[in-house]
Amino acid sequence: MNKGIILEIPSQVEYLSLVRAVVASAARVDQSLGDQRIDDLRLAVSEATTNAIRAHANLGSSERITIRFGLEGDRIEVEVQDRGSGFDPEKLDPAGPLTDKGRLEYEGGFGIPLMKILADEKTIESADEGTTVNLTVYVSPPSETI
């Protein structure tokens, strides 16, 4: 993938709005991507970056977080890489529907499901030395690509 833009940000929540602004502006370079899809990508990337910042905070790490953005033919790919302690994506406990008894007691549990829904493709590679989230949004839906 030709990752045209590379951002390295301090692991601080104050930089989230900058990441979103860059992703949205870069995505608009491809004028065929509608505003709704840009909003979807913006939110998915923000969630991935938020998780990366949390991972560094859990370690007390001041290392930077890397976001790579690429426009590649029929798709936009974004990679968010942290240097946290990693986790097992298969062992994430789904929070369940909000209508479940007791679910309102818990404010979390939206981030990773949102990434999964909003991106056309999502992969999480996680190991002891960090996590890399890849998000892909197709300019046209995957079923329409050749």
Partner 1 sequence: MMLTLSNSNTGIWTVIHVAGEVDMATGPQLRQEIVRQVSEGNIHLVIDLRKVDFIDSTGLGILVGGVKRAKSNGGDFRCSGLSSSLEEVFALTGLDSVLAVVDLDQDPSSWTKSNE
- How many residues of this chain interact with partner 1, rule: CB under 8 A? 30
Report which of 86, 84, 9, 93 is spatially closest to residue 46, judged by C-alpha positions. 9
Least distance CB 2 / partner 1 (angstroms): 28
Position among 23, 42, 68, 69 found at the interface with partner 1 (CB under 8 A): 42
Instruction: Supply the DSSP symbol for 140.
Output: S
Enclosing H/E stretch for 7: strand 5-9
Q: Does 146 interact with partner 1 (rule: CB under 8 A)?
A: no
Question: Exposed, middle or buried, 32 (CB in 10 Å: 0-12/13-18/19+)?
Answer: exposed
Least distance CB 126 / partner 1 (angstroms): 19
Structure tokens, 127: 């190991």
How far apart, in whole angstroms, are the C-alpha atoms of residue 70 and residue 50?
20
Position among 4, 10, 34, 113 found at the interface with partner 1 (CB under 8 A): 113
Q: Does 13 interact with partner 1 (rule: CB under 8 A)?
A: yes
Binding to partner 1 (CB under 8 A) within 47-106 occurs at 47, 50, 53-54, 97-99, 104-106
